[in-house]
Amino acid sequence: MAKKAVTMDKLVALCKARGIIFPGSEIYGGMGNTWDYGPVGVEIKNNLKRAWWKRFVQESENSYGVDAAILMNARVWEASGHTASFSDPKMDCRNCKSRHRADNLIEAHSKGKVNPDLMSNEEMEAYINEHHVCCPVCGKCDWTPIRTFNLMFETSRGVTDESQNKIYLRPETAQGEFVNFLNVQRTTRAKVPFGIAQVGKAFRNEITPGNFIFRTIEFEQMEHQWFCKEGTDSEYYAQFKAQAWQFLLDLGFDAEHLRFHDHDKLAHYAKEACDIQYEFPMGWNELNGIHNRTDYDLSRHQEYSGKSLAYVDPVTQERYIPYVIEYSIGADRLMLAVLSEAYDEETLENGEVRTVMHFHPAIAAYKAAVLPLQKNLAEPAKAILAKLKKHFSVTYDDAGSIGKRYRRQDEIGTPYCLTIDFTTLEDGTVTVRDRDSMEQTRMTPEQAIAFLTEKCTF
Ligand code: GAP
């Protein structure tokens, strides 16, 4: 299916108007690249995280969850390589003082035809000068040389200067999974191959071109590390590629809006690496990553901690450091993709245009809206609302015409509207309106609960 005419401006406006996502610290003039989820947005994001957890932990044969601390021993980041080399190539415009990533400037200037990942800093500088790549803010071409800044946010621990120690807000959740490898293996008695998953906040001092929640300085990651024996790693890498793809299809993504992108330049420890890209409103870009990280992470933590992280096979007694297949996806980036995939503007028979979010019902903030046709039907409507609330997240609306109320629910993607009318008083049934087909069916509240349970399961 061709991509719909959704723009970032339309999404941002809808999200703000309907309580999905607000600009961070808005009453103080905002804070660049931070966003706050509103009452509708937090439900959708929680549903995405739940769906991911269900698929990759609950339904997995041998995967376990952790919730590790955000603040970790600083040695963790030395072992992982983040202290030494987690940086972006940044350039300042001497004219307007705005700061930019050299790789982003090259990508935008070449319209994605030149891959800056394959260039050294010197080569990027040369490209920018030779091709007169100018500042996107003021239009001048007067750049400082490239400088690299570590992306980790620093803070310090301790109450006096003497005891101050530099620590970091974690830039990824993955290390909390690696350092707990043996804790999880011993307490669950898991046999390799097995997985450790985590959902949590990560922080990066990023310069971003402002694509809404695509790249922010504080975000959530959903990461899964699969520990396996060397030799089986490529098979599991292929398996995770397929599972990550299927997860997106099951959420309702059109396969034509997704594609695999193999990395042109592999990190020194990686054997295989790819992204799944999505066609975001601003163009194709990374949605998630799948990496064969070899035994690099556990070996480095073994070296830096001085503690053995070898696994002992209970049958053969063989000792080895497992290989890791990592599958990593940002919850906020997935949210942006889900929002843009769901967005639609439909012209109705009467010529009116309705904006509708076609979320998978399991992902929608509210599974149903209870709408009394008239205000004097509030009592039976609230009784039905209370019954439904025991099972799902449900909303209630009695303000304005029924048509306007349907439109409001369409805009936040509520899959079903239950209307309480005068027939409800006679036989106890309600009408259930389907968001996508707009067809209505009468059923009892009990039948509606069974119907919603079936339709809203992921
Ligand atoms: N542990 C591997 C890792 O962190 P990554 O490619 O840097 O790899 C994984 O991040 C995923 O996290 C990305 O595919 C993206 O979905 C999300 N992500 C990364 N940086 C982000 C940011 N600044 N804002 C929002 N999401 C981000």
What is the C-alpha to C-alpha distance for residues 284 and 420, in angstroms, rounded to an integer?
A: 44
- For 179, the token pair is 């350092």
The atom number, within ligand 1, closest to the CA of 208 reads 23
Sequence-ordered list of residues with C-beta below 8 angstroms from that of 264, at least 6 positions apart, any chain: 115, 117, 118
Sequence-ordered list of residues with C-beta below 8 angstroms from that of 238, at least 6 positions apart, any chain: none
Ligand 1: centre distance to CA 392 (Å): 31
What is the C-alpha to C-alpha distance for residues 424 and 444, in angstroms, rounded to an integer?
A: 9
With the most atoms of ligand 1 within 8 angstroms of its CB, the residue from 286, 292, 324 to mutate is 286
Instruction: Please provide the average confidence, as pLDDT, over all residues in the chain.
Output: 95
3 state SS of 400: coil
Residue 2 has pLDDT above 60, yes or no: no
1 vs 385 pLDDT, higher one: 385
The atom number, within ligand 1, closest to the CA of 171 reads 4
What is the C-alpha to C-alpha distance for residues 232 and 211, in angstroms, rounded to an integer?
A: 39
The predicted-structure confidence for 87-114, as pLDDT tens digits, reads as follows 989 999 999 998 899 998 998 899 888 9
Mean pLDDT for 251-265 is: 96
Residue 441 has pLDDT above 90, yes or no: yes
Nearest Cα neighbor of 201 from 297, 79, 74, 331 is 331
Q: What is the pLDDT of residue 52?
A: 98
The predicted-structure confidence for 163-186, as pLDDT tens digits, reads as follows 678 999 999 999 999 999 999 999
Residue in the structure block whose two tokens are 């974690």: 170
Residues at CB less than 6 angstroms from ligand 1? 172, 174, 204, 206, 215-216, 219, 221, 223, 286-289, 326, 328-330, 332-333
Ligand 1: centre distance to CA 331 (Å): 9
The predicted-structure confidence for 275-285, as pLDDT tens digits, reads as follows 999 999 999 99
Mean pLDDT for 350-369 is: 96
DSSP per position, 229-285: -TTTHHHHHHHHHHHHHHHHHHTT--GGGEEEEE-SS--TT-SEEEEEEEEETTEEE
Confidence of residue 377 (pLDDT cuts 50, 70, 90): very high
- For 207, the token pair is 């310069």
Nearest residue (CA) to ligand 1, atom 19:
330
Q: What is the pLDDT of residue 259?
A: 98
The predicted-structure confidence for 19-78, as pLDDT tens digits, reads as follows 999 999 999 999 999 999 999 999 999 999 999 999 999 999 999 999 999 999 999 999
- For 71, the token pair is 């603040």
The predicted-structure confidence for 413-434, as pLDDT tens digits, reads as follows 999 999 999 999 999 999 999 9
Q: What is the pLDDT of residue 413?
A: 98
Residue 244 has pLDDT above 90, yes or no: yes
Q: What is the pLDDT of residue 4?
A: 63
Mean pLDDT for 435-447 is: 97
Q: What is the pLDDT of residue 5?
A: 74
Confidence of residue 207 (pLDDT cuts 50, 70, 90): confident
Mean pLDDT for 302-307 is: 98
Ligand 1: centre distance to CA 254 (Å): 22
Q: What is the pLDDT of residue 218?
A: 96
- Cα atoms in the Cβ-side hemisphere of radius 13 Å centred on 234: 3
With the most atoms of ligand 1 within 8 angstroms of its CB, the residue from 263, 277, 328 to mutate is 328
3 state SS of 46: helix
Nearest residue (CA) to ligand 1, atom 7:
172
Residue 3 has pLDDT above 60, yes or no: no
Burial of residue 121 (number of CB atoms within 10 Å: 0-12, 13-18, 19+): middle
